[in-house]
């Protein structure tokens, strides 16, 4: 009887010790303990999230489009002011269902919207990112895309931040299917039959080598005149060169 009691005592003590060790192992830094998951943004910053974001804000129409491809409109607390313009946007229907429209909002305006997370391109003002983080807002910096491959990377990062990686992968799969469909048609166009075009934009130095537009031209099987002239993105196309 005494031997059985002794075995029971040691078994209970072993359970207590195991529980104590497990508890000590989990009581690390408070921020890490409370974070449900964490992500690394394009600038290498670690952002810890306690739950899937419910109030989402992005500071560009491109990232608005990605979020709306993953989540319903009510999750986006505001949208770019041009998102409901059919000339500029391909998400007009969804944008019309979002009441708040923004254009270059201040840090204070963003704070007033109480976002769970804010997405911003890495070509945005660095001080804005710093200001928002100092205000306690979780900011995820994404890549300013120069190619369709970069857009796919942004989809992955945004989907991971939203806790919806499967939906992000589905979006990329749909992109790949559409690109494959386009390639099948484009491959039948002979090089000498390919059209040359030039982008005329308010951004007068946009459209050369190393930008999304140039990458899209290659997928579309057309010749980007600016790139063909040897200009890189950021270089100005003169009237003489256009002629």
Catalogue the long-range contacts made by 208-215 (C-beta closer than 8 Å, 24 or more residues apart). 208/232, 208/233, 208/234, 208/235, 208/237, 209/233, 210/146, 211/146, 212/145, 212/146, 212/147, 212/148, 212/150, 212/151, 215/146, 215/147, 215/148, 215/149
- The CATH number linked to 90 is 3.40.50.1980
pLDDT of residue 239: 74
Examine residue 16 and state whether it is found in any structural domain, yes or no: no
On whether both 94 and 125 belong to a single domain, the answer is yes
On whether both 90 and 48 belong to a single domain, the answer is yes
Examine residue 14 and state whether it is found in any structural domain, yes or no: no
Q: Which domain holds residue 201?
A: 189-242
What secondary structure letter does DSSP report for 136?
A: T
d(CA 60, CA 120): 7
Q: How many domains does the chain contain in total?
A: 2
163, two tokens: 């806790």
Phi, psi of 188 (to 5 degrees): -85, -5
Provide the residue-wise pLDDT of the chain in tens; the chain has 243 residues: 444 434 433 333 333 333 333 334 333 343 334 458 999 999 999 999 999 999 999 999 999 999 999 999 999 999 999 999 998 899 999 999 999 999 999 999 999 999 999 999 998 777 899 999 999 999 999 999 999 999 999 999 999 999 999 999 999 999 999 999 999 999 999 888 889 988 887 777 888 899 999 999 999 999 998 898 889 988 887 777 776
Examine residue 13 and state whether it is found in any structural domain, yes or no: no
pLDDT of residue 13: 39
Q: What angle do CA 29, 33, 38 make, to 5 degrees?
A: 105
Domain boundary among 138, 161, 181: 181
Examine residue 38 and state whether it is found in any structural domain, yes or no: yes
pLDDT of residue 243: 67
Examine residue 107 and state whether it is found in any structural domain, yes or no: yes
What secondary structure letter does DSSP report for 207?
A: S
Domain boundary among 181, 204, 229: 181
Domain boundary among 143, 163, 181: 181
On whether both 151 and 198 belong to a single domain, the answer is no
């Amino acid at each position: 009887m005494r031997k059985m009691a002794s075995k029971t005592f040691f078994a209970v003590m072993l359970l207590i010790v195991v529980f104590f060790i497990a508890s000590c192992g989990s009581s690390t830094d408070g921020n890490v303990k409370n974070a449900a998951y964490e992500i690394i943004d394009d600038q290498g910053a670690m952002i810890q999230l306690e739950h899937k974001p419910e109030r989402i804000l992005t500071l560009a129409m491109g990232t608005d489009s990605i979020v709306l491809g993953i989540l319903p409109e009510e999750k986006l607390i505001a949208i770019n002011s041009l998102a409901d313009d059919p000339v500029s946007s391909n998400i007009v229907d969804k944008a019309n269902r979002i009441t708040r429209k923004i254009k270059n909002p201040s840090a204070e305006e963003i704070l007033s919207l109480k976002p769970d997370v804010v997405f911003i391109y890495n070509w945005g003002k660095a001080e804005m990112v710093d200001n928002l983080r100092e205000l306690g807002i979780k900011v995820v910096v994404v890549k300013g895309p120069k190619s369709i491959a970069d857009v796919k990377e942004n989809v992955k990062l945004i989907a991971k931040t939203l806790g919806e990686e499967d939906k992000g992968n589905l979006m990329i799969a749909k992109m790949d299917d559409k690109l494959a469909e386009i390639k099948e048609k484009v491959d039948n166009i002979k090089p000498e039959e390919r059209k040359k075009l030039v982008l005329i934009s308010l951004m007068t130095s946009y459209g050369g080598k190393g930008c999304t537009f140039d990458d899209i031209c290659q997928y579309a099987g057309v010749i980007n005149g600016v790139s063909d002239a040897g200009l890189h993105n950021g270089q100005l196309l003169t009237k003489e060169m256009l002629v």
